[in-house]
Amino acid sequence: MTNKLYKLFFTLIAVIAFFNCNNNTKKEDSTTLKESFKNDFLIGTALSNLQINQTDSQLASLLKKEFNAITPENDMKWEQIHPQKDTFYFDVADKYVELGEKYNMHIVGHTLVWHSQLAPWMQNVKDSITLANNIENHINTIVKRYKGRIETWDVVNEALNEDGSFRTSNFHEVMGDSFIAHAFKLAAAADPDAKLVYNDYNLWKPEKRAGVVKLVKNLQAQGIKIDGVGMQAHWSLEGPSIKDIENSIIAYSNLGVKVSFTELDVTVLPNPWDLDGAAVEQSYEQFEGDPKMNPYPVKLTDSGQTQLAKRYEDIFNLFLKHKDKIDRVTFWGVNDGQTWLNNWPINGRTNHPLLFDRNFEPKKAYNSVLALKK
């Protein structure tokens, strides 16, 4: 073989290798959560303070690769962002929004009005006019600051009891249920283009579902903008049933609003006291240190991985069935090391509720979800 033929041969090999590499890269890039479901709904995750500050390059890489929507875990809640009447703390919130813009993500603001994690100065306001004015100042200041940048707001969070009645809170005691209409009106005026959501847990329950339907219809009857219902999805391997979740998706969609799954995780740990819900104030100190309550202190067993994978497969099958009604699915955490369920409702446990383990490696559940799109 002549030198020219040798050169031509090796040039062809190099060209083939180049195109194979590019094709493989494209294939790998498309095999991610956000790419697999890009025509169905957004795939989001919640970010902690440390993650917003981008101190972990491994996490930043996974975030950019797998997700196209973000929610702040705590840093936009009242006690963090508005700790004193005349003091707003925007440092972390600004970084959070800048991070979302950097990666071209759908940015969620969480949450404007919530009875929990409320600044102490707000907890004992007993005059309705003062309380309404404080809410107005809070919402106007925050929403207008991020107008056109934060695309969805969880306007009111967890205002209902399990039976669908209004939760006892200082907001409700002082203003009645008008505080909800007040908050949504203010948010809509502060940023008319933002999507406005009512967010709560256990919205698969028929009684609580009825309460949400009534709440949404009441706002709509007053001509007040509401774009969606956020179903927190703090679920377990056993429940809620797919049918109960489906019934709620349909009921909320029939109101003319979109459904979001805003805080998805699946606990793999036992709850023998029939724990139900996600109220942060619940605690069960008597179970701390009980090995029966912490069966996977190091890692999830193979059988546990299989159970979790099947549960996520069933959940996402349902989501895909109703993708026309759903605009976002947000996991409450990037990986198992971050999850709030490690310490709730029992301190010191090791939970494994997400699709990525503590080393940022995809679990069997991740593969079961992606397989639905292949």
Residues with catalytic roles: 158, 263
The rounded distance, in Å, linking the Cα atoms of 365 and 372 is 11
- Give residue 235's Cα distance to chain centre: 13
The SS3 call for residue 201 is coil
Q: Record the tokens describing residue 153, joined without a space.
A: 């707001």
Cross-strand pairs, 264: 331
- Name the nearest CA neighbour of 277 among 230, 328, 208: 208
The continuous run of DSSP H or E covering 80 comes out as: helix 78-81
- Give residue 108's Cα distance to chain centre: 9
| DSSP string for 274-317 | ---S--TT---GGGTT-GGG-S-SS---HHHHHHHHHHHHHHHH
Unique residue bearing structure tokens 């705590």: 74
- Name the nearest CA neighbour of 331 among 66, 139, 22, 90: 66
Strands 228-231, 258-267: pairing kind: parallel
Residue 170 burial by Cβ neighbours in a 10 Å radius (0-12, 13-18, 19+): middle
- Name the nearest CA neighbour of 346 among 287, 276, 271: 287
Residue 350: φ, ψ to 5°: -115, 110
Cβ-contact 113, 135 below 8 angstroms: yes
Cβ-contact 318, 246 below 8 angstroms: yes
Cβ-contact 274, 238 below 8 angstroms: no
